[in-house]
Amino acid sequence: MSTLEPTHSFDEPLPEIRSGLRGASSALVCLDFDGTLAPIVKDPDAATITPENREAVADLASSPAITTAVVSGRGLADVRDRLSLPITYAGNHGLELFRAGAGETAVHPIASKRAPLVEEVCAALERALAPVPNVEIENKRLTGTVHVRSVPRPLRETVRRTTRSVVDRIGGGDLETSPGKRIVEISPSVPWGKGDAVSLLEESCLGDPFVLYLGDDVTDESAFRAIEPEGLGIHVGTERASIASCHVDSPADVTSLLEWLASHGVDELTGGVSARTPAPPAASSD
């Protein structure tokens, strides 16, 4: 692994990171996938983590004082296959959790119960949106995503409106929609998101870890809210405003940040406390 000096937008969060690490004995580093570890591409199936980021995540995960997790809107199996690293994964915006080292997967019980509704909605949208060029409906079992990145701009609002209508008709209040970066997310109406998943991971770490979260999309805002001001949210990209305290421009800057953490960040910690394996999401009643 090469050691890089801070460059470009990586300069901005470095003082905050150093300050946070110096007051902690361990760290929790949570990373979104698309737009953070992997560049955004037109075809979601073609998204690939950069080799540099994969190496950096692997190096970071080798430290016993740092818990490394990928928190993604992708399905759990999908995001695990794209990294194939022995770390913690939260898929479907935290509704699925694979615990590093334990070999177990926890699924939010209400999300599991409503998976057939998601399947029905996705099938209905395939029919309703068939005339729209380049629209893609992705069934992730617990959630769904309608991709409009390649849809002609004049038709994107029609896709969003149709998606909301179909979800309201079939979901009957059990499902909801939310906006994302050129997507519409379909999910169970439960009070659980990326911020809840990150809070769960934080509570499961030994001591009082310094928490970092890096993400680029609207769904990452709940994680920024959950960890700040004690932790540090870092928005990736330059396209929109964010409540995160800091930002970096691109996945290439994420590489620099992760490489610095792996090579120098551990030295900033006050002790080398290993992290516990996180517990599964708490069950809630419907």
For the annotated catalytic residues, the residue numbers are 32
Cβ–Cβ under 8 Å, residues 47 and 34: yes
Name 271's Cβ contacts closer than 8 Å, sequence gap at least 6. Answer: 25, 26, 65, 207
DSSP letter at 38 equals B
Cβ–Cβ under 8 Å, residues 227 and 24: no
- 109 HSE (CA, 13 A, CB side): 6
Runs of H (alpha helix) within 172-250 = 194-203, 221-227
Residue 29 corresponds to which tokens in the numbers above?
A: 């580093």
Amino acid at 157: E
Nearest CA-CA partner of 181 in 128, 247, 239, 100: 239
Sheet order of strands, 66-71 included: 104-107, 96-99, 88-91, 66-71, 27-31, 210-215, 232-236, 246-248
Q: Give the separation between CA 88 and CA 67, rounded to whole angstroms.
A: 8
Q: Give the separation between CA 110 and CA 113, rounded to whole angstroms.
A: 5
Cβ–Cβ under 8 Å, residues 151 and 133: yes
